[in-house]
Structure formats: C-alpha cells, structure tokens
Structure 1
Amino acid sequence: MSSGNSGLVIAAYGRRGRLETAAGKALPFLLRGRRLRVVCGDRVQWEAQSHGHTAIVTAVEPRRNSLARTDPASGRQEILAANVDCICVVVAAEPAPDWFVADRFLVAAAAMAARPLLISNKQDLPSADDPAYAAELAAYMRAGYDLLRVSAHDVASLQPLLSALDARQAMLVGQSGVGKSSLINALVPGADQATRALSRGREGRHATTASIMHRLAGGARLIDSPGVRDFLPAIGHEVEIQSGFPEIAAHAGQCRFRDCRHLHEPGCAVREAAATGEIWPRRYESYRRLLRQQQAAGAR
C-alpha cells in the first residue's frame, strides 16, 4: 500500500475506526495527530503503517454536509455523520410515535440539504392500520414528505426503499423500538454478526455504540447510528427551523409582518392555519418546541 490513499470511514469511535479503501477492502485505522477528528461517512486520506495492516489517517477531505447535534446542557455541537444524501426517519404505530423525534430529524435533513424520507415500519402488524396513525402519516404526506411503508419481515416491501436510496449515502434514524435494527438486518444479511465482530475486535468497547456504515444491494450505503439519543439539530438560525417545516414556510409569506416568528404576533398566517387544521397542530407545536430548545441551547 502506498501513501496518499483515499478511503471512506465506515466506523469511527474515539481515535480509532475502520475505513474502506478504494479497492473495497476494510481496514482498521488510527488518527495521526491530536487535532484530527473523523466521523462515519468522511472521505479521508491515509497511508500504511511501516508494519502491520492498520491505516494511518492523515487528513479529512472537505465535507459536502454533516449531521450535527447540539448538547442541550452545554450548547456544544457534535458532528455525528458526514456526506449524507438522505435521512431515513423510521416510525411505527408501535410503540406510540414520538413525532417530535421525527420532526427534529426532518428539520436537520432540510438544514443540511439532504433528502428526508419517512419510513413507516412494522406494516405487518394490525396496529399499522389504526386510523389515527394513518391520519398522522397523511399529515406528513400533505406537508410534502415522501413516505414508504415497509416491514422487516417482508422482503418485497423493502424493494422500494432500496430503489429510493439508489447508490446514495443515507442514515437511518428514529425513536427506540421502531425496528431500525430489524430493518438493517433485513437489508444487510450478516449486519448483526459484523457489528458483534467489530465490538469484539481490537477497536475497543466503544464499537458497541459506534455509527457503522453498511453497503446495500445496488450500491447504496446506510449508516446505522444507535447512539443518537435526545437529538437536537445544530441549527445556525431560526430561519432554518422555519424552512424545516415546509407547510409553515408555505404560509409564512402571508403573515402581516415579514419578521414574524409565528409565535404570538398579530396577523400570523401560520397560527391561523394551525388553528384551522390546515397545518397539523402537532407539527406547529413541534416548531414552537424546537424554537424554544434552540434558544435555550444558544443562551448557554
């Protein structure tokens, strides 16, 4: 192996991880220097050690985008993944959907110019036909989001998802219990064994909660990030939050004041649309709640 090689980070934890070479070979790596930081999805430059089969990452190539979260306690930002083309937000009728979790990831997708894709899993369960759940999904489709209905136990239902990803680099997210792991195992035979092998390997104990990238049939890559909890998107300005709610952005131009924040201002078309149900009230509440959280984090 020669120096100056390009690679793709497929797992990262601390100063170690694994990368995929241009030839498709997976190698463990170490970071050179204390300041270098990488995340899953990064394109990096690496060179071989003088002995052994561990790569030394020497540089990170410029990122197209990054998924980052804000620590509500400290206000600090943490990058979770890079170069993401699609954010796949998984929901299900069981457990009861926490739509605020979904909304936060959908806003993040808009802020990073990634495609948002809503995936309703567990379609094989009777609860998937619950009228209230169907109405909630319909509200997202009215807002302009693409929706796929799948079941990890029905291979045929996964084909539209594979087609939608189409060689893209995607990230799978969602609240606990919606079946993300089952989906990964259905899409990537052997993924569970690969994750266990990684955690047993020399990379260390942090591998059990590391983001891991899997290659899917057709060339797509899917990042599984089990460590994403209490996600608060790293948003630079309130306008990005408004833009992350397409139905709110569509009504914002009709407000009396151009700088309307859609909270308490008179003549607010967004509040009027939420009151009449044209905007799903729960989505409007997610907007207000996210705005409050971002303000609180920014004040720290």
Structure 2
Amino acid sequence: MSPRRDLDEDDVRVRARPGSRPRTRTRPTHADAREALVVGVDRGRYTCWLDDREVTAMRARELGRKSVVVGDRVALVGDVSGGPDALARIVRIAERRSVLRRTADDDDPYERVIVANADQLVVVTALVDPPPRTGFVDRCLVAAFDAQVDPLLCLTKADLAPKDAADEFRQHWAALDLPVVTTRRDEEPTELEERLTGRMSVLIGHSGVGKSTLVNRLVPDAERATGGLSAIGKGRHTSTSAVALALPGGGWVIDTPGVRSFGLAHVSPASVLAGFPDLAPGAADCPPNCEHRSAEEGCALDAWVEAGHASPERLASYRRLLESRSDLG
C-alpha cells in the first residue's frame, strides 16, 4: 500500500470545453500568398490558375460568407504545387472590377453572380434552331450596362438561316453602337476570336445556340460537351457549370450553362432605362416619377420614338420588361 500524500491543484484534471481556447483578433497576413485566377467552381472546390498550372483550393475560414466565383482574383496559401492530392486555401479575394449578375426570374429576390472581373459579355444567339429572341438580348444588354461590361452580340448558325436573317435581326439595335459578329458552322470564328483576344469574356445564351461549339473551336483542347435540340424544340443543357479557358492568343473565355431566362430583379428601374440608351434621353421630358407605361400617363418616350430617335420595337421591348417587373413594386 502506497503512503498517503496530500493532493494539490496539479492533481486535478479539467477537461477543456469547446471554445475555451484563448482567441486573438490578430489574423495572419499571409504575406507569402500567391495570386491566382479562379477558373472553375465545383462543390466547394475551386480550380485556380497559378502561373502555368491548375491548383485545387478551398475557402479559408477567415473569408466568412464571402462567395468565390469564376473570374475572381484570389490569394492562395498552402500546397500550390498542383499535384493530384494537393489542396491550397483561398485567404483573400481581390476587389472585383465588375460583377455580372442575374436572377432566375424578374420576381426572384435571389441574385446569382455569373462571373467576376469580366470585360465583355458575349450574348450568343442562334439565327435558327432555336429562333432568336430580341427580348432576351435586350435583357442581357441591360445586365451588361448595369455591370459596366462591354456587350457583344454573336449570331450563330448563319449557314442555316435565310440570307438576310442576320441583317434583319441586328436592325433591332441599329440605333446603338452594338458590335455584332456572325458565325457559320462551316467556317472558323475568326472575327469573334479577334474580339475576344486579350480580354476576359463571358458567353451567355439559351441552350442549343452553339456556345460550347464556339468554345471548342476557339480553344481546341477545351472538350466542352455539345448537344442539339430536344424533341420539344428546346436546347439541351450541355454545359453544367461556368468555366474559364485560356485563349491561344491571350485572354480568357468563360463558357456558362445555357439559360432559359435572364431575370433582372436586382437591377434598379433607372438602370433598366439606362440599358436602353436609345430611349433614355427621351425620358428627360417625362414628368417626375414617370413610370414610362404610356403616353396617356404623360410619358414622353412615345414622342421620342415618333420623332425618329428610336424604333417602336425597342420601346415595346422596354415596356414588356417593365411589365414583367411590375410585381417588384
């Protein structure tokens, strides 16, 4: 039997409680972090382009709820070797030069960030199969102006359409300084490539218009999935996530999943009107708080159109967009 001894505080074992660890407000500076570009997002993992290689990363806890999207410029720490089992951490997100957003519908309050830091929004529209829609292009133009991103209209499948189809469709924006390129399935998209080189461009359009086909021709090793139309005449969704791909001549092209709608619930009424620069100057003669619904309510846009400053079709498109947003208050 061992001799009895007095006990003191050193003999007491206390189990640490969760959160009892001393905390400090001092955060690491990560001075050795490496700057990279986010080129893909998939289930909480981020593919980043660092120098000449792809690096897989996760968000660091200190980012809080800040979202990371394709096009973001980020700072990486940890294993940036790019090996198959390597995993880096994103510790900072650089200030975004531009943010392109959309909502699912005009009454959906939840906005989705499509891409960050884009220079150019390429609205891809087929001239046939599926047929072109001026309203969809107008919506994309509003989003581009709101994000301060240069718009570019790309008309595909010209070889399948009537000879004058492209000229007739582009007349809808004749009053705008809107650049337009036309592509054919039997020719290389040389003009489009020239307009994309050296820039960060995001392609957006309905499913089946040929976005991924264009990307595969612009970036030969892209291997983006392509598909035609379904039996009910709607495009199949072939791209499932946005991805940025390096162009051979410099710059990046971002392919996005096909969309069936482009909601603008996040855009203010003033910004919607700014997205119609051929109509906006005519609103100067409108009464205060004019909702631009009709001439009977005092709207001056009808007189602006009658004077030849804009087309009736553009005014009708603008008012259709206003009507779709009428539930927003």
1:19 to 48, 63, 79: 48
Q: Which residue of 2 aligns with 1:103?
A: 138
2:247 to 216, 241, 260: 216
Q: 1:151 to 1:289 in 2, by over 3 A?
A: same
SS at match of 2:159: coil
Q: 1:275 to 1:6 in 2, by over 3 A?
A: same
Matched, 1:121 2:149: no
Offset of residue 179 of structure 1: 1.1
SS at match of 1:100: helix
| Between structures 1 and 2, the one with greater helix share | 1
Q: Which residue identity is paired with 2:134?
A: W
1:75 to 104, 109, 116: 109
Q: Which residue of 1 aligns with 2:127?
A: 93
Task: List aligned pairs for 1:122-201, cutoff 5 A.
Answer: 122-125=157-160, 127-130=161-164, 134-155=167-188, 158-192=189-223
- Native 8 Å contact 1:262 1:271 kept in 2: no
Partners of 1:268 and 1:294 in 2: CA distance: 18
SS at match of 2:127: coil
Offset of residue 112 of structure 1: 0.9
Offset of residue 293 of structure 1: 3.2
Q: Which residue of 2 aligns with 1:264?
A: 294
Percent sequence identity over aligned pairs: 30
Offset of residue 210 of structure 1: 1.3
2:77 to 28, 47, 59: 47
Q: 1:138 to 1:76 in 2, by over 3 A?
A: same
Matched, 1:240 2:275: no
Partners of 2:127 and 2:102 in 1: CA distance: 26
Higher CA-based Rg: 2
SS at match of 2:49: strand
Structure 1 portions without partners, runs of 5+: 197-206
Partners of 1:128 and 1:6 in 2: CA distance: 49
Q: Which residue of 2 aligns with 1:202?
A: none
Relative to the length of structure 1, the TM-score reads 0.83
Relative to the length of structure 2, the TM-score reads 0.76
Structure 2 portions without partners, runs of 5+: 1-30, 227-237
SS at match of 2:223: helix
SS at match of 1:109: helix
Aligned-residue Cα RMSD (Å) equals 2.7
Partners of 1:17 and 1:277 in 2: CA distance: 50
